[in-house]
Amino acid sequence: MPLGERGIDNKGESRYCGVEADFTDDVPRLLSFNLSNGGFDFVVAPLMNPDYRPSLLEKCSDKPRVPPFAGSDLVVNPSRWSSHVVGKISSWIDLDADDPDVQMDSEISLKQEIAWASHLSLQACLLPTPKRASCANYARCVNQILQGLNNMQLWLRVPLVRADNESIDETSGIFTDYWEMWNIFRQLCEHDRKLSVALDVLSSLPSENSIARWYGEPVRAAIVNTNCFLTNARGYPCLSKRHQKLITGFFHHSIQIVISGKPLHEVLKRYSDLDAVQGANNNNGVVSHHLRPYLEYVGYLYQKMDPLPEQEQFELGYRDFLQSPLQPLMDNLEAQTYETFEKDSIKYLQYQRAIAKALMDRVSDENISSTIIVLMVVGAGRGPLVRASLQAAEETGRKLKVYAVEKNPNAIVTLHSLLKLEGWENSVNIVSSDMRHWDAPEKADILVSELLGSFGDNELSPECLDGAQRFLKEDGISIPSSYTSFIQPVTASKLYNDVKLHKDVVHFETAYVVKLHSVARLAPTQPVFTFTHPNRLTNKSNQRFKRLQFQLPTDMGSALVHGFAGYFDAVLYGDVHLGIEPLTATPNMFSWFPIFFPLRTPVCVQSGGSLESMFWRCVGSNKVWYEWCVTSPSPSAIHNSNGRSYWVGL
């Protein structure tokens, strides 16, 4: 039974909880005990007897050379194998051992077990943790296997550990920051999307920043050992506040929990080792499970989580989904796109507040009856800003004459129909024209627009508003009055692999709009480009360049930068702003998702190290484009040179 049975499944696979089991050749009984009696959703179980070694089998010529798999595939029906069993690869395997016989046994056994798991149509297999810092041969064999897999995932078991010293202990050759081990392993396997992580959660946890790195990695499961649990007043297992927060974070990122180990709490000690295999009868004669109380506590943590807000539920389908940014000048928006934006009531409420403040500053209470404000909505779409402007005028008692300027002929049809429906005939003039080429009959007191993109200027708001500025009065007001873009480095394994699927440079040189979810934000955001309107400078070049230096927290450990997340913050008027920059984001607004600038080759930044990057905004005769690169700690190529892959048409 899944941890939670809610009307809306908002945690994905994390509602399923598994259990790590020992080897047995009686798979039906193993599943019955752990699933039916224990209440777990799946088992992580060895497929081969732990005493098996291929070299020993070769020497026993009097026995059939058949590896001791956990029973025939016929003992369980195919759908049950697929949905309820994760294969656990033998933990003795050591492909980088000094002993060549151990190496050979390990390679043969690894390939046999994966082949058997694939034959059973298992969804995943758990690979043992590399036993030494040099794991190249292990990674080589896994990489060979990955080339022949179709749907099955390989989960590399990685301890959630990071010490405060160096990443490798020189005396033992063992990792103290196991993220380093994972990073080496996945790079040797060419970032294969079928290679994932199963984190071993221990009783001692690393820092919050160190843990946060993993949310940008392909973590599929978290194996929680029973020694992580404390004991409550009744003698039952519970978790510390830090462990609770960790498990909740895993739920939010669709990471499944796997319970592992023996019962360690007073009320559970009546279970012997025999009970752990066979089950113990409770007072009702029902077979009990020795780890059921641990499962119930994890289920309790799941159930007490707050349901996702309505906005987050709406955005679920967009999480980590790459979308090409809009081309507002080249393309005409469709009705469905307009409708989506128009549902963002918070956005238009902020605009209404800004317009109301501007009207009150523009016209004093003494001049309300004698003054008519000329307000132009440039890029009116289907009229939401026209509506917000008229409501602001009604709220403040000011008189308005509105020009609704729109280049999309289809949206013009909608605007004309609204004249009668909304009763705008006496106050709104509809203009079918590109704002940059329109000859206005009079100048505006207030210019209102919603031309902002996820990166602020990426939908050509500067170019459009510079073109429209000629019909704004010298003391006129622009709403928005300014906007600034922001950048931060991120670990985003899923996004990187999604771009990598295209197998070309073009997609690595394209900026994408994406609802960021499975990412690790590695450093605070920094401002990039700022534009102010009206722009009274004599030199109105909209080209920009910015050098940015990011410092990773010293307690984070090393991290891999897959690209940059971009945001914006805009001042509409006075103290009214809207934006998506994480620290100042407008609550409950969904009109914009962040933008993602990928790197063709991810860059590793050492613990406490710095990352230097450069961003350019380039303007040509008929297009605007961005170029970006990393210069330190290791230089990358300059992405999108001359706008060869991604640009916005003027």
pLDDT in tens, 399-427: 999 999 999 999 999 999 999 899 999 99
The pLDDT value recorded for residue 254 is 93
The pLDDT value recorded for residue 60 is 61
CA-based nearest residue to 340, from 154, 563, 181, 513: 513
Q: Average pLDDT in the 290-294 region?
A: 92
Q: Average pLDDT in the 635-641 region?
A: 97
Answer for the pair 148, 111: CB distance below 8 angstroms, yes or no: no
Q: Average pLDDT in the 539-549 region?
A: 93
Look at residue 611 and give its three-state secondary structure: strand
The number of C-alpha atoms within 13 Å of 241 and in the hemisphere containing its C-beta is 1
Residue 275 has pLDDT above 90, yes or no: no
CA–CA dist 159, 202 (Å, integer)? 8
Q: Which of 166-175, 512-521, 522-531, 597-606 has the lowest mean pLDDT?
A: 166-175
Task: Record the pTM.
Answer: 0.91
Domains and CATH numbers, the chain: 13-304 (3.20.20.150), 335-479 (3.40.50.150), 488-649 (2.70.160.11)
Residue 237 has pLDDT above 90, yes or no: yes
Cβ contacts of residue 160 below 8 Å, gap of 6+? Answer: 178, 199, 200, 201, 202, 205, 206, 211, 214, 222
Confidence of residue 6 (pLDDT cuts 50, 70, 90): very low
The pLDDT value recorded for residue 340 is 86
- The catalytically annotated residue of 450, 463, 509, 627 is 450
The pLDDT value recorded for residue 650 is 86
The pLDDT value recorded for residue 172 is 52
Residue 274 has pLDDT above 80, yes or no: no
Confidence of residue 63 (pLDDT cuts 50, 70, 90): low
Confidence of residue 616 (pLDDT cuts 50, 70, 90): very high
- The catalytically annotated residue of 113, 459, 463, 627 is 459
Q: Average pLDDT in the 108-129 region?
A: 95
Residue 69 has pLDDT above 80, yes or no: no
Higher pLDDT pick, 337 / 63: 337
Q: Average pLDDT in the 106-111 region?
A: 96
The pLDDT value recorded for residue 283 is 46
Buried b (16+ CB within 10 A) or exposed e, 487-524: bbbbbbbbbbbbbbeeeeeebbbbbbbbbbbbbbbbbe
Residue 287 has pLDDT above 60, yes or no: no
Task: Read off the pLDDT of residues 574-605 as tens digits, 9 standing for 90 and up.
Answer: 999 999 999 999 999 988 999 999 999 999 99
The pLDDT value recorded for residue 176 is 74
The pLDDT value recorded for residue 280 is 45
Confidence of residue 235 (pLDDT cuts 50, 70, 90): confident
Residue 617 has pLDDT above 90, yes or no: yes
For all residues of the chain together, what is the average pLDDT?
90
Cβ contacts of residue 345 below 8 Å, gap of 6+? Answer: none
Which residue type, as a one-letter code, is found at position 498? D
User: Is 450 assigned a catalytic role?
Assistant: yes
The pLDDT value recorded for residue 530 is 97
Q: Average pLDDT in the 102-111 region?
A: 95
User: Is 13 assigned a catalytic role?
Assistant: no
